[in-house]
Amino acid sequence: MKNKIKHLATLTCLVLALGSPGLAKEAERDSETPESGFPFYLPKEKPDRPLSGAMERLYDAYEAPRPEHNELFSQFKDTKLEGFDYNNHDGTISRRDPSKILYANGKYYVWYTYRHTPKPPQGKGKHTDTLASTDWDLAEIWYATSDDGFTWEEQGVAVPRPPKPHVGWRAVTTTDILEWEGKYYLYYQGFLQASGTRGDDCPVAVSWSDSPDGPWTPHHEIIIPNGAPGEWDQYSIHDPYPLVHDGKIYLYYKSDFDGDPKLVRMQGLATADHPLGPFTKHPLNPVITAGHEPSLFPFREGVAALVYKDGNEHNTVQYAEDWVNFEIASITELMPYAAAPHVPDAFTNTEYGRGITWGLAHFINANNDWSTFHSILVRFDCDLSLDLHDPEMKEHRVNYTPDDYFKRGLSAEQKKRIMDTPSPAAP
């Protein structure tokens, strides 16, 4: 009886919905009422029965319906690094925005933004020749090596600030490494004015070397220019991140745009046949609509991206089989910021990427105190690799303590708004 009534109702719906494709689809789904309820054991393959929209997506959009069977799902675990001194965390030394981790000469290498100024950053517009506006103003690119990825030995400067008026004279920051035909290339943001003068404006420059230990020769030319006036990347090309694919350099980058009150951050792609360019920006840019510092790795036939913070699709791992059109592959949490993974096949021109298990990242404002603002490098581990099976990394949830939640409680303004809102009058 229940069914008869339901079928009658469905028919009525079908008639009413003729003019509306959305409603018609819903009605059609309803009209195929299955004989029995959805199975108790979650089918591994998409079952041949009518499914709700969410169930369709579960089987169509993800590699597997359970996160632990999805190679592009992982938790992330952070570890403090040994070997870096931060001057008692007084804000005068900062390390941030690490590069991918390179394995060479029997050890791991990382390059990063290093700021050592007499005082902590002064704030946008308050800079001098020796005092920084932002955490990365007046920075240089330094490097460190490690045998195990936990304890690092700082080796000193790799790319200093070149003399004025060369690109990067004010700051060289946020670097990433490329290995190409036996040579090494460091791409970085080359500031020609203090960050914050208008915004965080800069193009990308490059230095090259025959060895990861340097010496590095600056190319002294802008290698990835800002977009034309009015284009999304007209002011900033940030976080250059090169990989090798299809015999070419695929360099992803981020730009800040859309102006006040809050910038949006998206990611674009530029490709080149040679590390010194010319680079061609992809006509479909931006290709990733969320995230901050690009962080990608070859995965199977395509490329995967860690997309954390900023934008609708933050806290996702995304995948693009054609290296351009990204889809969400998983949703996760507590992702590493400015993640710089060890990508063993970053430069091998692989046709089947194996994924990643660890890397470095940064925590900005390490003291949670703006008067001693500085950033620290940190290690993250994960299981986004076809060659690792770590069930702990595939747990579906992170358990936070009540304190974690309370620390992020209402601001004073919010509390006031709530207290000042009159309660609805009693009926």
Residue number with CB closer to ligand AAL (336 or 355): 336
- Residue 37 C-beta: closest distance to ligand AAL, Å: 49
- Residue 368 C-beta: closest distance to ligand AAL, Å: 17
- Residue 193 C-beta: closest distance to ligand AAL, Å: 13
Type of residue found at 294? P
Residue number with CB closer to ligand AAL (239 or 383): 239
Residue number with CB closer to ligand AAL (72 or 202): 202
Q: Which residues are at the interface with ligand AAL (CB under 6 A)?
A: 97, 136, 173-174, 189, 200, 238-239, 254, 292-293, 338
- Residue 107 C-beta: closest distance to ligand AAL, Å: 26
Residue number with CB closer to ligand AAL (267 or 316): 267
Q: Which of 285, 256, 253 is nearest to 198 (CA)?
A: 256
> The tokens of 243 are what?
């990989």
- Residue 97 C-beta: closest distance to ligand AAL, Å: 5
- Residue 134 C-beta: closest distance to ligand AAL, Å: 7
The total of other beta-carbon atoms located within 10 Å of residue 48's CB is: 8
Residue number with CB closer to ligand AAL (62 or 253): 253
Peptide bond into 242 cis (omega under 30): no
- Residue 169 C-beta: closest distance to ligand AAL, Å: 16
Residue number with CB closer to ligand AAL (74 or 174): 174
- Residue 78 C-beta: closest distance to ligand AAL, Å: 17
- Residue 376 C-beta: closest distance to ligand AAL, Å: 14
The total of other beta-carbon atoms located within 10 Å of residue 408's CB is: 9
Q: What angle do CA 193, 194, 197 make, to 5 degrees?
A: 90
Residue number with CB closer to ligand AAL (176 or 293): 293
- Residue 200 C-beta: closest distance to ligand AAL, Å: 5
- Three state DSSP letters for the chain: CHHHHHHHHHHHHHHHHHHCHHHHHHHHHHHCCCCCCCCCCCCCCCCCCCCCHHHHHHHHCCCCCCHHHCCCCCCCEEEECECCCCHHHCCCEEEECCCCEEEECCEEEEEEEEEECCCCCCCCCCCCCCCCCCCCCCCEEEEEEECCCCECEEEEEEECCCCCCCCCCCEEEEEEEEEECCEEEEEEEEECCCCCCCCCCECEEEEEECCCCCCCEECCCCCECCCCCCCCCCCECEEEEEEEECCEEEEEEEEEECCCCCCEEEEEEEEECCCCCCCEECCCCCCECCCCCCCEEEEECEEEEEECCCCCCCCEEEEECCCCCCEEEEECCCCCCCCEEECCCCCCCCCCEEEEEEEEEEECCCCCCHHHCCCEEEEEEEEEECCCCCHHHHCCCCCCCHHHHHHCCCCHHHHHHHHHCCCCCCC
Residue number with CB closer to ligand AAL (170 or 292): 292
Residue number with CB closer to ligand AAL (170 or 254): 254
What does the chain come to in residues? Answer: 427
Residue number with CB closer to ligand AAL (194 or 343): 194
In the complex, residue closest to ligand AAL by CB: 174
